Amino acid sequence: MADAAVIGAQWGDEGKGKIVDWLSARADVVVRFQGGHNAGHTLVIDGETYKLSLLPSGVVRKGCVGVIGSGVVVDPFALIAEIDRLAGQGVAITPDNLRIAENATLILPVHSELDQMREASAAGVKIGTTKRGIGPAYEDKAGRRGLRVVDLASPETLPAKIENLLVHHNALRRGFGEAELDAGALVDTLKEIAPKIAPFAAPVWRELDLARKAGKRILFEGAQGVLLDVDHGTYPFVTSSNTVAGQAATGSGLGPGTVDYVLGIVKAYTTRVGEGPFPTELDDDVGRRLGERGREFGVVTGRKRRCGWFDAALVRQSLKIAGVDGIALTKLDVLDGFEELKVCVGYRIGGETYDYLPAGAERQAAAAPVYETMAGWSGSTERARSWAELPAEAVKYVRRIEELIETPVALVSTSPERDDVILMRDPFQD
């Protein structure tokens, strides 16, 4: 029985939530392995909409266990708020269906405050973060001064650890002209939230190993997208974690051989939130039409997404970097009614032509897309569940994308509803 990983293959917002939910109906365990509550997944199940940020998508399904791995940075206050919100929708989150890695790093209020200071500062590069403290928490993790979930179980150790953390953060706050923080107040805050988090803490590496030995199906759920990977994305306009499939092993505590199939989620056009290069961006009526039809607003922030044509050169690059076996092409229905469609097949930068986006922020910002034009279609692809229901031009579009990205299309999504899928290859099948 195969285990699968789902990752975004663009700049995030590709529609991973629906696909993960569709797969989680047959999974026993769903694992988040990186990122934090800057992720936003929207699930539509039987007409009910669930918006998740930190919780794995599988928690809304009975019989499925959600796991937050050690590669995730956990804001305990945001987590409890999300659990309470789901309870209001009739979904009970308990230690029976949610486990949190005891060695996962915590996001504290000091992290989100630092994030906001940096984004508001007149100096430095504007990354366009969600201001939720994700980056600063990863910095403290790498700097070996971060607090972890397991620390909440030993409140007597918190004062010394908080003092050590604030040596760094108070120096930064002084640099921003902000008041220093009192360790005692932060300790009291953590002691208050600790009893709500502690029951979920576990050595998830061990539980996942036991689940695998028992023949359970494990689905690894990525957040953001490959183009936001801290190593392989459009640096410095990236997130603070590795978003590629290899992180599923590191961020969960299982070996790399655990992932049998990597499914990359790819939107039929391109969107991006925040700052950074975007070669195919359309600041015109076509771009606005894509945004309106695709309802392109961030789940977490509500920010309007930048929209543009499909970038085959960039997707091909991200698929190869991430080791993707097949893609799920989402939001094909958003392209219904366009007379013509354009697909980027390369770039011109300083008089040279590239079939990939080279590293270096300056060259990426200067990249001009080289387009291939295709005929659009007047018919509807919405809610199609077989190739026969698609207009001929839509089939040609999908097949041409498949050729350009050099990766097979495993499934096509034709609406936000979970069952509106055309399946060619089941990621859970060996």
Q: Which residues are catalytic?
A: 13, 41
Contacts 24+ apart (CB under 8 A), 294-300: 294/269, 294/331, 294/334, 296/13, 296/271, 298/13, 298/40, 298/273, 299/13, 299/17, 299/40, 299/41, 299/42, 299/51, 299/53, 300/37, 300/38, 300/39, 300/40, 300/53, 300/130, 300/132
- φ and ψ of 28, to 5 deg: -95, -30
| Residues 6+ positions from 410 with CB-CB distance below 8 Å | 263, 325, 326, 327, 328, 423, 424, 425, 426, 427
Q: Where is 87: in which H helix or E strand?
A: helix 76-87
Please identify which residue in the block is written with the tokens 């990205």.
405
Smallest Cα–Cα separation from 69: which of 29, 96, 38? 29
d(CA 36, CA 115): 14
Q: Is the dihedral of CA 101, 104, 110, 113 positive or negative?
A: negative
d(CA 255, CA 248): 9
DSSP 117-178: HHHH-SSS------SSSHHHHHHHHHTT---BGGGGG-GGGHHHHHHHHHHHHHHHHHHTTP
At residue 71's C-alpha, the angle toward residues 359 and 75, to 5°, is 110
Which DSSP state fits 103? Answer: T
Smallest Cα–Cα separation from 41: which of 55, 31, 24? 55
Q: CB neighbours (10 Å) of residue 300?
A: 17
| Residues 6+ positions from 205 with CB-CB distance below 8 Å | 70, 101, 252, 253, 254
